Structure 1
Amino acid sequence: MPGDGDRILSEDRLRGVLDLFERLRERPPWRWRERLRPLLLLLGPAGPAAHVAEMLKNRCEQERAPVSHIAADTPATDVAGVLREAKRELSQPSSRARGEPALRFPLLEMALWLRDLREIRLAGDQSPPRYASPSERENFQLVRRLTHPPVGDNENARRRELNRVIRRRGRDVLRDLEEPRSRTATFLSFLEQIAPIGVAVVALISAGTAAALDLASAVLAAVVGLAFVTVQIVARTRGWYGVRRFGWFVGQPYLQRDSTGFLGFALGVFDPRPVEPDDHAEQLDLLLVAAFLEDLRRNYRRDYRRAAWARVRYPVLIFEHLAPGHPGVRVIEYIEHVRADSGDGAALPGFDPLVVTAGVDPATPAEDGPSAASGPRLVDRLAQAVRVDLWSGEPQSVFAARALWDRYWREQRRVGVLGSRRELRVDITRDPGGDIPPVRPVRRRPRLTHPALPWIVMVAVAAASITVISVQVDRYCSPFGIKRTASGECIGITDGSFKFGEASDGENNDNRLSSVLGRLKKQNDAVARSGKPHATIVYLGPITADPAIQNRQLDLLAGAEGELVGLAMAQEEFNAASQSLRMRVLVANAGARFQHARQVAEQIRGLALKDRSVVAVVGFEQSRAETQDAIKVLSKSALPMVGTANSYNETGMLDHDAGFSPYYFRLAPPNRRLAQHAAYWASHGQVGGKRARTVDVIYNADPHDLYSRDLASSFKSSFTGYVKDGQVVVRDYDSPGNLGKTVHELCQKPPDLFYYAGRSDEFRTFTNVLQHTCPSGQIVLADDEIAKYVSDNAPQIGKVATFRLFYMPLAAHEAWTDAWVGDRRNVFFNAYPGAVDSIIGRNAPRDLRPSETRAAVSYDAASVIGFVAGQVFTAQAAPPTAGGVFAALDDPGEGPLWNGASGVLQFTGRADGHVVEDKPVLLATVRAGGAVEVREVCGRLVTGHQARADCPAGDGTPSEPSR
């Protein structure tokens, strides 16, 4: 039958004690509610106290909560022994939840290690015991090295040796040598201090950078951020990082030495004087206790570490039963002493989470000895140690009154940290009687502190950021400034390393331009390797076709390809001829129809601000509203601009008050000059062999297209001036389908001449409908715009019997014949076939070769800039600038500036828009075999004399007997 003692100490009868114990060790969910826990004294004989202590220990271990049970017969004989046992048990797997890191005690380990060295030093025997552990043997060897350093360098040698070992221990502390290194929880707990947060922050920054700036910046942010996280992880495994935490010792009030830094402190602990003060041992014990409490405080500190928030039970130190000589008595006294020291000058930062409970017999005396029976009791000694001493309230003198307020606030802070009561007593032998309510449920670990949560959040944030970046990648064809538009085009600036032309549907169509872009890249690399000063020319043009065109054969990239070939030829020629200065060429894609010209012009402007070698921009081949915007943007940067095929009458016009931009120079004749010649030749029988009286003019009605409407209007005005009774029907179109319908209607009553003022993109539609709807023998006259179409389709055009095509190219090698210029030949046209074979390849299909016309005008544009840049470089003996190049273009002096492939180049003043004076205007036709024949050459193709052509009155063609 169970006795009364067993009935009293059953778990059901101890519900009140268990409930109190749970409240003591339960950690509040909020920081501001945390307070130091009072000492729990279980009053009773040794037997019942041991039974209750075992019950409390089992309760903690069942929950895998941190607990240390110090038995009454513990082998520990001093404070250090108790703390070693407490540290060992609090670090056991049974004292933590699965997957959670163990409590770690680096400060206590360091303090105990220094104490061990000190004890070996004081003992004087530097030979380890026979059965000493490897770590103990290492300590003895270290003491020997520290006490017998090299002669002549005693202090420095001791410092170096101790510093080396301390660094190693700092690294080992971080590695947590108490645990198997392969434990997943240990490894993840080490990484989760920085990896999840660091990776998540880097991912967010990278995604934000990709959205706000560009992909290159996002990649840079990711690389820098991940490198920083990696450095942090690696750094925390270094000894010096571990030693940093040992700086805490220097700020403690125990064992003060006349030294600076932790190394001096450690030497002071290790190397005591021959006669130690009486309180030195006590001071060292206080330091051990302070280190123990500080380690616990750091383990429970609410910061970025998830594990600290996951700990919902305070660590418990259970003394089974205390006797007067038990070291646990001093441990409790020292714990309260340290707490009082920290609470005397600080508030909550001095808080530590330790819960202490002790079994004490109320009759046990405070001290051992014969007279102890009549002296104070042990329970009173403990109560005195934990008491919160406050001022008694006795009156002060009028002089001491000035300190009362400061004393009052110090006591308030002290009470705020220590609480108003520091002990709770429970008589475990008293029968409570009656029924006791069940123990209240305890707080569970918050779900948000699950060990996997930081990694799940990290993966989620990283995945979301990668998704954002992946979406942003769709904006970028290349990380370095090449962006993808909503329509799928790639726009931006390249040195040739990026190959424009990837179709929006994923079809790779860059083979047409990749060769010439590769040549430009190769030549730019050679410029960089030369180390010589260089001038940079930026080409702005439509490098990609309109993604809306379903038939990829309609890309009509011959014009862009031709202009790039001309640039490559001019660059190679200039760099081969110049001894000191080099030319670099960058390619800026403004998108099909120059839709993104303004945006890319802003990029060029920004580049010019950073790279002073940018001296000019060439291109601008299409007369569109977007081109005008780009010219206005670049004019703000005072960058010289040379237009190749842009012929709109008001190209470069800033506004009607400001006039033309002073920085824009045009190679193509304006529409009024082209229309005048076209109307003259149509009305005088040079086109088709008969005088036209009726003309149907077709133009593109796109409101952004300045060229087409302007050319149509100029032609109508000029033609009616030549033919008073002539009839001009002007029809527009806004789509290929609408164009086909218009041509079908006009063919019901064909005119003497069709004048096509539309774009080359729709010329195929025009010719297809024309040859299947109109009667044979139609005459078609067009401008240079369709030269791109002719370049790809001349053989097919020559086979068509329904119509005969005449057009007006800006340049043609067929004009450089004996019939027109005698035996004079142009360097460009002599070199062009070989250059094309070298760049594009000899076996390239005939319909995929670059436009010779556009190559000629871009060659002239780049050559003029190179020639002027060379002059500036020679005159200034310094790399040319945009300002110097502009000044030379604006005031070239007497005589022509350049004898180009498209004619003699001599620019007029700003008032006229910097046009080329007497720029050649050619009339060409496609013959039956697909060969191009130049029928008329008006204007100055060469200096001196050239053959006379049938030109409008007032044309500046040199006088020469007609052919």
Structure 2
Amino acid sequence: MAGDRILGEDRLRGVLDLFERLRERPPRRHGDRLRPLLLLLGPKAGTSPVAKMFGTRCKNEKAPYSHIAEEHPPADVPGVLRQAKRELSQPGGHRPGEPALRFPLLDMALWLNDLRDIRLAGDEHRPPSGATAAERENHQLVRKVTHPPIVDDENARRRELNRVIRRRGRDLLGDLETGPRGRPATFLGFLEQIAPIGVAIVALVSAGTAATLDLAYAVLAAVVGLVFVTLQIVARTRGWYGVRRFGWFLRQPYLADDPPGFLGFALGVFDPRPVEDAEHREKLDLLLIAAFLEDLRRNYHRDVRRAAWARVRYPVLIFEHLPPGHAGVRFLELLARVRRDGRDRRGRPAVDPLVVTAGADPAEPADPSDPSGGRLVDRIAAAFRLDLGGDDPADAPGARELWDRHREEEARVNALGARRVLRVDVTRDSGVNLPPVRPARRRPRFAHPALPWIAMVAIAASSVTVVSVVAVRYCSAFQIRRTSSGECIGITDGGFKFGEVSEGENNDNRLSPVLARLERQNRAVARSGKPHATIVYLGPVTADPAIKNRQLDLLAGAQGELLGLTMAQAEFNNASPYLRLRVLVANAGARFQHARQVAEQVRDLALRDRSIVAVVGFEQSRVETQDAIKVLSKATLPMVGTANSYNETGRLDRGAGFSPYYFRLAPPNTRLAEHAAYWARTGRVGGRPARTVDVISSADPHDLYSRDLAESFTRAFTRAPGGGKVLARRYENPGDLDRTVHELCEHPPDLFYYAGRSDEFRSFANVLQHTCPSGQAVLADDEIAKYVADNAPELGRVATFRLYYMPLAAHEAWTDTWVGDRRNVFFNSYPGAVASMFGAAPSRDRTPSEVRAAVSYDAASMIAYLANQVFTEQAAAPTAGGVFAALDDPGKGPLWQGASGVLQFTGRAQGHQVTGKPVLLATVRPDGAVEVTEVCGRLVASGQKSGHCPPAATAPPPASPS
């Protein structure tokens, strides 16, 4: 008969196709679905081959499965679970590079069940002869906690049991039944889960932090992230962490009679009732099955673990054949109950990934002793049947509950499925040849075991690259960035020593001592706890990286201005009882190339730090300086220029006039040129009146000072009565300057007027010395005061020419010749300040410019004085607005006496010039000393002697409303 034939594999393609569809895990968009029971109907000779085919297909794919044969069946439900756990987690149940299924909850439940069985067996029960180490340890634990002295001490019993539970919690990822794997295995198991993601996140955070903030914060983020990952790994190797996962038991309706924590639950299972009843045994079996299903859910839950996404086959539990009385029958009945009653954390029916197939003979009775009691297959099907309740009408009060019951039943149907059992008669053959079994879903490519590590390495390498680039771009963690040319620009409180990083200097860096002094004084301000006002110095604090010879760096100007700031800060803080002065240094780079960028940094900092009341510096008249002034003007920050003499400095866009926030200490080029032309025509320069002058200036389009000064001098010299002749020559680089001077020396003029930059003055002086005849006179502006500071002795010894220049300030002007017995406090303190920072006899090429120190001292002292005035009047910390108001309208109080002269500003219409600002003429004597030969303007308020001054070059008009 057809029903008695055993079908071959070619005739079982339909069954195999169904089996593949059952164990195929759908993608995330479809969601995990609970699979129905596949019940194979037929005699053992028919169902066993099919079950073996199922197992072979799983084995060939290295998919998790457990095959429970009829021979040597498990004795009870724990035996079924023990075999299923062992076979599902074996190495052949997963692909290479993927972790095996782990069952920590079931391990703990089985362990407690074993302890319970040992306790029930009594004291005479000893471990069998072939017992494993774990079994012997269990017997030893039971004897230890049930015999004196521990048995009489409840706390001691709890401590001993808690110690073992914590150890098993520590070894949560191991196979606890065959012995703990220990911390190394736990560490490696956790590492597989979290290391790629943790390292990748740390790398991304570090790279992002480095790109958006700075390198120090990037390193801090990396250290914090790696420490956090390390602490997580270490924590997971501790028992208390593993025990936290066992809190799941307390939320189950089986045996958990509100125990005080998991230890109390474990003691409740460990201490059996005097008589073991069937109901209690059933609850324990239900708990074991629930733990088994929960472990499977966690293994397949699609979270951050790659392994859960890589598992595209559900685990399969194959019962080859179930005769009456087989433990598998009881397992299936309890499995159906757990699935019906199970709820997740949100109260919804829980879905597990387990697929179960079972073979059963439809002729087998459910109970052999009672053949009329029904068939076994019907008993199994009845256990899985979904009972949704009857259609009996509800009474009026109960009507309000019908909707909730309907929604609950609907959720159960959605989770469990309308059909819970699929029956297939494997003995029947329709004679139809079916096509091959449809291919099952393949593992997603992104879930490949190597992919997280490849991604981690790629992200980490990218992060290292970003951080390395940032490390090159940043010089320091405090707003200091490295430019493409190698300069370090940005803002510091003195903690970063400009010049050391970029030039490889340490103790020899000429700016380090003064920056160190600023840092100490700023820290003292912070420690005082008193309110303070902050001044930001914006200037070229680094030399051009292209200059390799340190003798040519010409940082005497920046060195002097920083020295003047430290002197003003120390003087004010020592004298003021309440308010303190803080100074920040903002390096705009050589030639102010990065002035706009750094000005934006200052603006952003001023928005966060309201103590910033003014910005001083701006010593070079360049296009970039103008841009910086515009940026800071929009931020309404008062600015005081020290040595910037360009006529249009501070002028905003066309038609907008001068910036109301910019105040200049240096006389404009027009005033300087008028004095220079007068002294040249009257013989105050060179000892004889000049009739021909060669004017040399820079052709750099970004240099506003040089061209403006040359044109102003040319106008002043040629338009005077009986004016002379001017030959203007411009140079683009030092090489052009050498050729220009060589050509001019073939027919030397009466006077060389140098309107170029101090950077090129060495080339000019060298060619002039060796090309022109002796007796030449050279006149220059304050720009070369930086060069004089480093090279005065050499200039004095030159026999070919004599240098005259017009410094903005000089202690040589504070003599009896010009001011009588008056002396200025700055010049009295200056030698001591230099000695305290640079030694009693600093080398000439490391001496700060006294001229620039004087003007920066004046700027800082005046701002500090006004800030203190605002603080006193308003009884509140001074602000930029308050200082600006005092600058713009100083009132009728006394004039501010500075080292560079009397300071009182005109109105905005004149660009906030200093009324009657002194103009000095100095020369370098043969002994290298500087001598001031002329003084015009107001050096002191009264009692001053005036030199030979141009009659038409009067002081600027008094301030007018603007």
TM-score range, shorter chain: 0.7 to 0.9
Q: Deviations over 1:652-693 (max 9, x none)?
A: 334676544444332222222211211110111100111112
Task: Say yes or no: does 1:900 pair with 2:903.
Answer: no
1:213 & 1:786 partners in 2: Cα distance?
39
- Give the structure 2 partner of residue 717 of structure 1: 715
Unpaired segments ≥5 residues, structure 1: 1-6, 958-963
- What is the DSSP-based 3-state SS (H/G/I as helix, E as strand, rest coil) of the residue aligned with 1:511? coil
Greater mean alpha carbon deviation, residues 843-852 or residues 402-411: 402-411
- Give the structure 2 partner of residue 173 of structure 1: 172
- What pairs with 1:862-901 in structure 2 (closer than 5 Å)? 862-873=860-871, 879-892=877-890, 894=892, 896-901=894-899
- Give the structure 2 partner of residue 961 of structure 1: none
- Give the structure 2 partner of residue 135 of structure 1: 138
- What is the DSSP-based 3-state SS (H/G/I as helix, E as strand, rest coil) of the residue aligned with 1:687? coil
- Give the structure 2 partner of residue 574 of structure 1: 572
Return the offset for 1:133: 3.2
**701, 704, 714: which is aligned to 1:703?**
701
- Give the structure 2 partner of residue 940 of structure 1: 938
2:250 & 2:437 partners in 1: Cα distance?
45
Q: Deviations over 1:445-497 (max 9, x none)?
A: 55543333212211111111221222233332212211122333211100111
**354, 372, 380: which is aligned to 2:378?**
380
Given that 1:128 and 1:137 are in contact with CA atoms closer than 8 Å, whether structure 2 keeps it comes out as no
Amino acid in structure 2 at the alignment position of 1:197: I
- Give the structure 1 partner of residue 734 of structure 2: 736
Given that 1:347 and 1:413 are in contact with CA atoms closer than 8 Å, whether structure 2 keeps it comes out as no
- Give the structure 1 partner of residue 325 of structure 2: 325
- What is the DSSP-based 3-state SS (H/G/I as helix, E as strand, rest coil) of the residue aligned with 2:510? helix
1:851 & 1:540 partners in 2: Cα distance?
17
- Give the structure 2 partner of residue 836 of structure 1: 834
Task: Say yes or no: does 1:620 pair with 2:618.
Answer: yes
Greater mean alpha carbon deviation, residues 733-742 or residues 344-353: 344-353
- What is the DSSP-based 3-state SS (H/G/I as helix, E as strand, rest coil) of the residue aligned with 1:702? coil
- Give the structure 1 partner of residue 524 of structure 2: 526
1:915 & 1:311 partners in 2: Cα distance?
80
2:512 & 2:740 partners in 1: Cα distance?
38
Return the offset for 1:898: 3.8
- Give the structure 1 partner of residue 82 of structure 2: 84
**468, 478, 481: which is aligned to 2:479?**
481
Amino acid in structure 2 at the alignment position of 1:852: E
- Residue 706 to residue 128, structure 1, CA distance change in 2 (3 Å): farther
- Give the structure 2 partner of residue 286 of structure 1: 286
2:672 & 2:29 partners in 1: Cα distance?
84
- Give the structure 2 partner of residue 590 of structure 1: 588
- Residue 59 to residue 788, structure 1, CA distance change in 2 (3 Å): same
Amino acid in structure 2 at the alignment position of 1:594: F
Amino acid in structure 2 at the alignment position of 1:571: Q
Greater mean alpha carbon deviation, residues 246-255 or residues 295-304: 246-255
How many residues matched?
946
CA RMSD of aligned residues (A): 4.5
Task: Say yes or no: does 1:538 pair with 2:536.
Answer: yes
Unpaired segments ≥5 residues, structure 2: 129-134, 956-962
- What pairs with 1:312-351 in structure 2 (closer than 5 Å)? 312-341=312-341, 350-351=350-351
Greater mean alpha carbon deviation, residues 336-345 or residues 860-869: 336-345
Given that 2:807 and 2:920 are in contact with CA atoms closer than 8 Å, whether structure 1 keeps it comes out as yes
2:31 & 2:61 partners in 1: Cα distance?
23
1:170 & 1:872 partners in 2: Cα distance?
68
1:919 & 1:434 partners in 2: Cα distance?
113
1:540 & 1:883 partners in 2: Cα distance?
19
- Give the structure 2 partner of residue 820 of structure 1: 818
- TM-score relative to the length of structure 1: 0.85
Task: Say yes or no: does 1:919 pair with 2:922.
Answer: no
Given that 2:340 and 2:349 are in contact with CA atoms closer than 8 Å, whether structure 1 keeps it comes out as no
2:116 & 2:429 partners in 1: Cα distance?
51
Given that 1:501 and 1:509 are in contact with CA atoms closer than 8 Å, whether structure 2 keeps it comes out as no
Given that 1:791 and 1:852 are in contact with CA atoms closer than 8 Å, whether structure 2 keeps it comes out as yes
2:838 & 2:558 partners in 1: Cα distance?
14
1:857 & 1:67 partners in 2: Cα distance?
88
1:257 & 1:567 partners in 2: Cα distance?
77
Amino acid in structure 2 at the alignment position of 1:135: N
1:588 & 1:127 partners in 2: Cα distance?
87
Q: Deviations over 1:594-653 (max 9, x none)?
A: 222222222222222322332332211112233233233333444333221112233333
- What pairs with 1:669-684 in structure 2 (closer than 5 Å)? 669-684=667-682
- What is the DSSP-based 3-state SS (H/G/I as helix, E as strand, rest coil) of the residue aligned with 2:317? strand
- Residue 183 to residue 59, structure 1, CA distance change in 2 (3 Å): farther
- Give the structure 1 partner of residue 803 of structure 2: 805
Q: Deviations over 1:209-259 (max 9, x none)?
A: 433444445445444544544454455455665455445456556568578
- Give the structure 2 partner of residue 960 of structure 1: none
Q: Deviations over 1:294-334 (max 9, x none)?
A: 21122122232111122233322233432221211011122
Given that 1:781 and 1:805 are in contact with CA atoms closer than 8 Å, whether structure 2 keeps it comes out as yes
- What is the DSSP-based 3-state SS (H/G/I as helix, E as strand, rest coil) of the residue aligned with 1:512? coil
Given that 2:249 and 2:256 are in contact with CA atoms closer than 8 Å, whether structure 1 keeps it comes out as no
Given that 1:323 and 1:364 are in contact with CA atoms closer than 8 Å, whether structure 2 keeps it comes out as yes
Given that 2:560 and 2:851 are in contact with CA atoms closer than 8 Å, whether structure 1 keeps it comes out as yes
Greater mean alpha carbon deviation, residues 619-628 or residues 246-255: 246-255
Task: Say yes or no: does 1:355 pair with 2:355.
Answer: yes
- Give the structure 1 partner of residue 787 of structure 2: 789
Greater mean alpha carbon deviation, residues 924-933 or residues 169-178: 169-178
Given that 1:939 and 1:955 are in contact with CA atoms closer than 8 Å, whether structure 2 keeps it comes out as no
2:507 & 2:690 partners in 1: Cα distance?
42
2:754 & 2:438 partners in 1: Cα distance?
94
Return the offset for 1:586: 1.3
- Give the structure 2 partner of residue 951 of structure 1: 949
Q: Deviations over 1:383-410 (max 9, x none)?
A: 3334566899x99999999999999987
- What pairs with 1:249-288 in structure 2 (closer than 5 Å)? 249=249, 252=252, 279-288=279-288
- Residue 756 to residue 744, structure 1, CA distance change in 2 (3 Å): same
- What is the DSSP-based 3-state SS (H/G/I as helix, E as strand, rest coil) of the residue aligned with 2:625? helix
Amino acid in structure 2 at the alignment position of 1:92: Q
Amino acid in structure 2 at the alignment position of 1:173: L
Task: Say yes or no: does 1:851 pair with 2:849.
Answer: yes
Q: Deviations over 1:156-177 (max 9, x none)?
A: x999999888766554435665
1:259 & 1:185 partners in 2: Cα distance?
32
- TM-score relative to the length of structure 2: 0.85
2:149 & 2:125 partners in 1: Cα distance?
15
Given that 2:640 and 2:859 are in contact with CA atoms closer than 8 Å, whether structure 1 keeps it comes out as yes
Amino acid in structure 2 at the alignment position of 1:866: A
- Give the structure 2 partner of residue 3 of structure 1: none
Return the offset for 1:944: 3.8
- Give the structure 2 partner of residue 610 of structure 1: 608
Q: Percent identity?
A: 72
Given that 1:343 and 1:413 are in contact with CA atoms closer than 8 Å, whether structure 2 keeps it comes out as no
Greater mean alpha carbon deviation, residues 921-930 or residues 459-468: 921-930
Q: Deviations over 1:825-871 (max 9, x none)?
A: 33333333343233224564322322121122222222333344444
- What is the DSSP-based 3-state SS (H/G/I as helix, E as strand, rest coil) of the residue aligned with 2:193? coil
2:507 & 2:697 partners in 1: Cα distance?
29
Greater mean alpha carbon deviation, residues 637-646 or residues 56-65: 56-65
Greater mean alpha carbon deviation, residues 204-213 or residues 871-880: 871-880
Greater mean alpha carbon deviation, residues 493-502 or residues 578-587: 578-587
- What is the DSSP-based 3-state SS (H/G/I as helix, E as strand, rest coil) of the residue aligned with 1:935? strand
- Give the structure 1 partner of residue 629 of structure 2: 631
- Residue 143 to residue 174, structure 1, CA distance change in 2 (3 Å): farther
1:436 & 1:147 partners in 2: Cα distance?
69
Task: Say yes or no: does 1:688 pair with 2:691.
Answer: no
- Give the structure 2 partner of residue 191 of structure 1: 191
1:911 & 1:328 partners in 2: Cα distance?
102
- What is the DSSP-based 3-state SS (H/G/I as helix, E as strand, rest coil) of the residue aligned with 2:802? strand
Return the offset for 1:188: 3.8
Amino acid in structure 2 at the alignment position of 1:313: R
- What pairs with 1:48-63 in structure 2 (closer than 5 Å)? 57=55, 60-61=58-59, 63=61
1:160 & 1:665 partners in 2: Cα distance?
80
